[in-house]
Structure 1
Amino acid sequence: MFKNFSSAFLSFIRYISHWAIMLIPVGIVIGATVALFLWLLNLATFYRFAHAWLLYLLPVGGIIIHLLYKFLGKSAERGNNLIIEEIHQPGGGVPKRMAPLILVTTIITHFFGGSAGREGTAVQIGGSIAHFFSSVFKLTDADKKTLLAAGMAAGFGAVFGTPFTGAVFAIEVLTVGRLNYKAFVPCLVASFVGDATVAAIGVHHTAYHIKIIAHSPKENLFLADVILGLKVIICSSLFGLAARVFVLSAHYVKRLATAFIKPNWLMPVVGGFVIIGLTILLGKPDYLGLGVEPQYLGAVTIVSAFQHGGADALSWLWKIVYTDITLGTGFKGGEVTPLFYIGATLGNFLAQILNAPISLFAALGFIAVFSGATKTPLACTIMGIELFGPDYVLFFAVACSIAYLCSGKTGIYSAQRKADVHMLKAYYRKFRAKGDS
């Protein structure tokens, strides 16, 4: 028994050493690039706040983005889906130009006021850099898949300051309903190194807080307050429906724009003018950009949604509209931060209707809408713990699970596989192999 234990332990040490040699430099480079991206994004956001007229140049920014991808982008324009497909089935690879292209074009989108996020940018940066290192290390296809997943984890963990979530997200997002445990340790190492690099450089993340609900430390709050538990269940189903609306409308806007707006360079121009028109119509810029920092005192943001009166009744719906138009017409960025905004503002609104704790329900919406749209309930539950603390972990798990179940079969990533379909194909291949033999 001791001999078997020693052998297993030595194998584990060799495995960790093998991956650490690659993952530490990969995580550092990804973390440093993400830190640069966050710094530039912050500069672009506050410069736009100080020069509101930049919004009127959003169509020009869209043309610049289109031309950059037309002449330099090639397959890089497929973004996160390209990385996910490359992990499932290595083929053409992830182009090295993906990282600088997505960084520059996301900054352009935010500089002129487009409604987008940053997760997609960070994941593409991570995947592109990881793929470059895989060629340097001359890895096998199996190890290349693992390194790509680790690059995704490092980018995600670094951009949000949630390293554990980044690791789980990278292994959960690939196939709906199945986790790739083989890649978990490399993803965890890369994500923690990436996040530590961002912290060491001095780039800080937004802090969110839930006001503590008084209860006995020995009691389960979810079970002790049945009414509150029912409110969580009801709202979680609505968070899932909001995620489904976002996903379906995002695909619809993209199909509509592709079918009816010709030539292609005109798509971001039309999208830009629609965003400008909506902003003029609403009379406020609250739904532009990330939605984290306030452009003026009293603006609706993710942070304000954790306070009473910090969101309007339709803030979540307007953010869906703005983000779908921005991304569906060719602008670049991620979907996750807008999903945070949608969930937090919807949670704020529902909490006021149901007389529930506002900061708690904003936090539940924050992670639950994300869970429904990306089909990653476990990662989102862990994100709740990393961002808001462990006190309400049962609420987080219930909200993310119900939102996942109520959000339909498809998410924002078309390259995600379905576990049941994948298993059927595997069984079919085995059946054919037996038949041939």
Structure 2
Amino acid sequence: MARRNHVDPAQIFRLFYPRTLLAWTQNFDWRITGRWMFYSTIIGVLGALAALVLGELVTLLTRLMLIDGAGYPMPFPKGEGGTDIFDLEQVLQPTRRWLLLVAPTLGGLISGWIVFTYAPEAEGHGTDSVIRAFHRERGFMRIRVALVKTIASALTIGSGGSAGREGPITQIGASLGSWLAQRLRLSERERRLFLVAGMAAGLSSIFRSPLGGAFFAVEVLYREDIESEALMPAIVASITGYSLYTSIERSGTVFVTPRFEFVNPLELLPLVGFALLCAIIGIFYVRIFYGTKRRLFDPLPLAPALKPALGGLLVGILAFFFPAIMGSSYGWLQQAIDGNLPLGFMALLAFLKIIATSLTIGSGGSGGTFAPSLVIGGMLGGLYGEGLHRLLPNLVTQPEAYVLIGMGTFVGGAANVPIATTIMISEMTGSYSLLVPLIFAGVITHLVARRWSLFEEQVRTHNDSPAHRAELLPDLLRQIPVAAVVERVPYFHTVEPGHTLREMLDVFTRTREVVLPVVAPGKGHPPHYLGLVLLEDLQSFLREADALSPLIVAQDVQVPFEAVRLSDTLEDALNRFLETRYPELPVLDERGEIVGFLRPHQLISEYHRALLRHLRHTPEVETRS
């Protein structure tokens, strides 16, 4: 009998595996990848330990000052020690109610003194400081911020201030990441990536959200973009931090939820209305939040270190009548998920949480806006879901599910992080069946409200970040003065505020000018420039110029006067063009008189010439991997 051919798998493996491995390793930089894995793991460990310390301090002070001190049996989420036993009337009747006035005032007084004595950048919610450090401060953060923020935030939240742990742990983790990069003497680019990884590590730990924490860290930097380069280090640090934190805390999700299901696509239709509602209230929240700071606390003739105490006192007055606003209020979210809260209570908590958070953080108190925003959104969702259930009981069968949808939708719109919050809500609750309604409503809210944000330091996209602008233009534009590029003009046209539309159009028709300076009447030296009239702004009036000419004068269509000086660099000019979007900028001499005009194409041409000179004198150009 002939022997059949036998193929030995081991021979094939020995024949092809070395060749495949070699091809793979030739395209894989073990040195860089291994180093980043190692560093991201260290950052994850630091973030988890910081989250553990912050969480323990907040719990300790909350129990000492509110639960045992004021006799306020505040509820907790079931993932943090909460139980099924709940009596609304008993919870709202603290035994020593007067201490609710004292506790947040005392906490604000001590935390304010610590912050403004040792690290003033640690005031407020902290996330904006991290975003500013990433975009504008080359990733530098002081290590003392981590210690000061930990203590001040624990005092603010533990004494009843309306704030959460998200902002503090973001700043704490970021400062630890920045500190590690500084100790290792790494580059500016790596320092910024360490900062983002530190954010992710802290957030994923304290919220038990490994993927959501990573996405929040890369998404919160922009209004309409993400920092994709930092995603992999953020994920490694996030998973490491989460794993270490949960192994010590022995806890799963923050909230425990029933089995919610999304089965009827028709439920998406009323979510459009809910998304618009969240956008409107989110804009109101942002305006109240920053309006409280700028119009109430900033003008006060009071030392900055004392303002958090005043904010704490005002919060204490609210809490005296309605204690549910104190702290993060996560326990009240759990009760809303369980269906234990009446509609009037949820409406009142949503409104007063906006006021209390604005008072706490707007006064300079140290705490985050993420937790209060979750509570506001959750209460709105609970109200909307219950209302729909009463109107359409066959369509909306689980009104409590709208609490989760409200949490993600409201925060995603108010903070411009729709992707991150969708993931975080799913991970914090262990409920992944609501991903479709979460992302559907979250994207609508984001599109409507993206011009407003709780984080003012966010920039629109990657290209608008000063950090990346510096990478794209490596010192070339900084070395060239405007005087080297601008062509001086012996004569140019100006208009006065009273010149009519027809007179302005006549000038644009006869010349090649695209910008007309508006000067004050008279013959002052140097002239007093009031604004600029742009040709592109007048194009919509061309068809009816004769009829509109008597009605429209220069002062009606002028834009603010913006200019550059001969001594400025082309980088300064580029920044001015990006800020104003003007087609041309006047150039002023040392006396403040216009000597020429600069257009964007001149910057581009000069940049290309400078780049060619740079490459010609650089024998070997290294590309960044």
Q: Same fold, TM exceeding 0.5?
A: yes
Distance 1:212 1:292 in 2: 19
Deviations 1:333-373 (A, max 9, x none): 10101111111111111111111322210000111111011
Give the alignment of 1:419-430 within 5 angstroms: 419=461, 422=464
Distance 2:278 2:117 in 1: 40
Distance 2:20 2:136 in 1: 40
Q: Describe the shift of the 1:376–1:92 C-alpha distance in structure 2 as closer, same or farther (beyond 3 A).
A: closer
Q: Is the 8 A contact 1:209 1:359 kept in 2?
A: no
The Cα of 1:45 is off from its aligned counterpart by 2.0
The Cα of 1:137 is off from its aligned counterpart by 1.5
- Does residue 150 of the first structure (1) align with residue 167 of the second (2)? no
Give the match for residue 367 of structure 1: 408
Distance 1:70 1:229 in 2: 48
Give the match for residue 56 of structure 1: 101
The Cα of 1:14 is off from its aligned counterpart by 3.4
The Cα of 1:266 is off from its aligned counterpart by 4.1
Give the alignment of 1:288-307 within 5 angstroms: 288-293=326-331, 301-307=332-338
What secondary structure sits across from 1:231 in the alignment? helix
The Cα of 1:9 is off from its aligned counterpart by 4.4
Deviations 1:374-397 (A, max 9, x none): 101111122233234322211111
Deviations 1:10-42 (A, max 9, x none): 22x433311122121221122011112112212
User: TM-score scaled by structure 1?
Assistant: 0.89
Give the match for residue 350 of structure 2: 316
> Number of paired residues?
418
Q: Which moved more, 1:180-189 or 1:376-385?
A: 376-385
Give the match for residue 231 of structure 1: 270
The Cα of 1:322 is off from its aligned counterpart by 1.0
Q: Is the 8 A contact 2:48 2:244 kept in 1?
A: yes
Give the match for residue 67 of structure 1: 113
Give the alignment of 1:253-268 within 5 angstroms: 253-264=292-303, 265-268=305-308
Q: Given the alignment, which residue of 414, 420, 425 partners 1:379? A: 420
Give the alignment of 1:150-299 within 5 angstroms: 150-202=197-249, 204=251, 205-213=253-261, 221-223=263-265, 226=266, 228-264=267-303, 265-280=305-320, 283-293=321-331
User: TM-score scaled by structure 2?
Assistant: 0.63
Q: Given the alignment, which residue of 155, 158, 162 partners 1:111? A: 158
Q: Given the alignment, which residue of 16, 19, 24 partners 2:33? A: 16
Q: Which has the higher contact order (CA 8 A, sep 6+)?
A: 1
Give the match for residue 188 of structure 2: 141
Distance 2:247 2:462 in 1: 42
Deviations 1:31-71 (A, max 9, x none): 01111211221222233122215422222322222211222
Give the match for residue 405 of structure 1: 447
- From the CA coordinates, give the structure whose radius of gyration is larger: 2
Q: Is the 8 A contact 2:174 2:199 kept in 1?
A: yes
Distance 1:33 1:14 in 2: 29
**Structure 2 unmatched ranges of 5 or more:** 1-18, 71-97, 390-395, 473-573, 576-599, 610-625
Q: Which moved more, 1:143-152 or 1:66-75?
A: 66-75
Give the match for residue 348 of structure 1: 382
| Identity, % of aligned positions | 24
Q: Is the 8 A contact 1:346 1:362 kept in 2?
A: yes
Distance 1:75 1:337 in 2: 21
Q: Which amino acid counterpart does residue 233 of structure 2 have in structure 1?
A: P
Distance 1:4 1:252 in 2: 61
What secondary structure sits across from 1:334 in the alignment? coil
Distance 1:27 1:259 in 2: 37
Q: Which moved more, 1:36-45 or 1:118-127?
A: 36-45
The Cα of 1:91 is off from its aligned counterpart by 4.2
**Structure 1 unmatched ranges of 5 or more:** 216-220, 294-300
Give the match for residue 10 of structure 2: none
Distance 1:251 1:203 in 2: 38
Q: Which amino acid counterpart does residue 307 of structure 2 have in structure 1?
A: M
Q: Describe the shift of the 1:289–1:243 C-alpha distance in structure 2 as closer, same or farther (beyond 3 A).
A: same
Q: Which amino acid counterpart does residue 351 of structure 1 have in structure 2?
A: G
